Amino acid sequence: MLASILASGLAVGAVYALIGITYNTMYLTSRVMSFTAGQLGMLGGVFGSLFVLRLGLPVLPGLLATLLACALVGVVTEVVAVRPVLKSLDQHLYVLSTLAVALLIQHATALEWSTEPQPFPRLLGLGAGIWDEKYWLPVAACIATIIGLEYLYRRTLVGRAFVAIAEDNFAARALGLPERNLRIASYALAGAVGALAGFAGGQLLLAFFANGPLLNFYGFIPVALGGLGNNRGAVIGGFLLGLFQQAANFMVGGIFSSVAVFTLFIIVLLIRPQGMFGAPAARRV
């Protein structure tokens, strides 16, 4: 039992961590927490099933098409729901505008795709039991994403520009960084990361329109606990959450595991609203 708790816990934990990174990627360049993060994960599964199973593309082109489609959704989110409300960030209109876009995505999927969970294809056909690919693929995708992002942020000019904007938006613009284009790029990147989460976790979560809100919530928990914009916190938090949730699942049953997760989440946040690794809020007066 321990082995299956570990395997499924790490697998869903990796998906949550990736959704957390999706939140963070959008947050860093825009200071916006977007409700679309979970929907991108959902779309990763739906597009994957659509391209590979229904349209019969091979796995790699299917993955690529999925990433591109979700990157496009990310860009559309930026244009429609984020850019118009950035001017008045303190009014928190983005909560409503991104919620609206997330719901549009979810219901368009329900109407055009299916309201029932649809099968997701086996990708590589490797492994069995607890070493089945559906358990280790999300973990592998998560590790690959972390390495890729670290490389991007540390070694490339574009990545350093992202970091500069995240650090100090005004100073970065004063230096002549193309803030708007970088923001669009980060939303595309977030779209791709979310898509990867859904694609890699597709065999666990299936291609189901209602995955969006769940991923939204369980992906947000590691971000909230790890501190906004902190990818390391999101990854650690994501894996811990996955393990905790699956352990509770096996021991006390599905419903009470979500009650347990929710309660724990609220308690931790009430004690440390800025998250375990976050900095306290700035001055107000």
Residue 270 is a binding residue for another protein (CB under 8 A): yes
39 closest CA partner among 59, 23, 60: 23
Rounded to a whole number of angstroms, the minimum distance from the CB of residue 73 to another protein is 15
Residues 14-33: x where in contact with another protein by CB under 8 A, - otherwise, as a string: -------------------x
C-beta of residue 25 within 8 angstroms of C-beta of residue 179: no
Residue 214 is a binding residue for another protein (CB under 8 A): yes
Rounded to a whole number of angstroms, the minimum distance from the CB of residue 260 to another protein is 10
134 closest CA partner among 7, 38, 243: 7
C-alpha dist (Å) from residue 42 to 12, 90, 111, 272: 13, 29, 14, 30
The span from the CA of 241 to the CA of 14, in Å, is 10
Rounded to a whole number of angstroms, the minimum distance from the CB of residue 162 to another protein is 21
Q: In this structure, what DSSP letter does residue 46 have?
A: H
Residue type, 219: G
Give, as ranges, the residues between 222 and 251 that touch another protein (CB under 8 A): 224
Q: Which of 104, 163, 177, 268 binds another protein (CB under 8 A)?
A: 104
The span from the CA of 42 to the CA of 119, in Å, is 13
C-alpha dist (Å) from residue 274 to 224, 226, 241, 262: 7, 8, 18, 17
Q: Which stretch binds another protein (CB under 8 A): 11-19, 120-128, 172-180, 256-264?
A: 256-264
Residues 34-63: x where in contact with another protein by CB under 8 A, - otherwise, as a string: ------------------------------
Q: Which stretch binds another protein (CB under 8 A): 45-53, 54-62, 85-93, 124-132?
A: 85-93
Provide the 10 A C-beta neighbour count for residue 12.
Answer: 24
Q: Which of 220, 222, 231, 241 binds another protein (CB under 8 A)?
A: 220
Give, as ranges, the residues between 170 and 209 that touch another protein (CB under 8 A): none
The span from the CA of 68 to the CA of 71, in Å, is 5
Residue 97 is a binding residue for another protein (CB under 8 A): yes
Rounded to a whole number of angstroms, the minimum distance from the CB of residue 81 to another protein is 7
Q: In this structure, what DSSP letter does residue 278 have?
A: P
Give, as ranges, the residues between 107 and 126 that touch another protein (CB under 8 A): 107-108, 111
Residue 89 is a binding residue for another protein (CB under 8 A): no
Q: How many CA atoms lie within 13 A of 109 on its CB side?
A: 28
Q: Which stretch binds another protein (CB under 8 A): 84-92, 126-134, 138-146, 149-157?
A: 84-92
Q: Which of 42, 63, 81, 182 binds another protein (CB under 8 A)?
A: 81
User: Which of 26/67 has CB closer to another protein?
Assistant: 26
C-alpha dist (Å) from residue 224 to 36, 89, 136, 151, 227: 16, 19, 25, 25, 5
C-beta of residue 98 within 8 angstroms of C-beta of residue 76: no
Q: Which residues bind another protein (CB under 8 A)?
A: 33, 80-81, 84-85, 92-93, 95-97, 99-101, 103-104, 107-108, 111, 213-214, 216-217, 220, 224, 253, 255, 258-259, 262, 265-266, 269-270, 273, 284-285
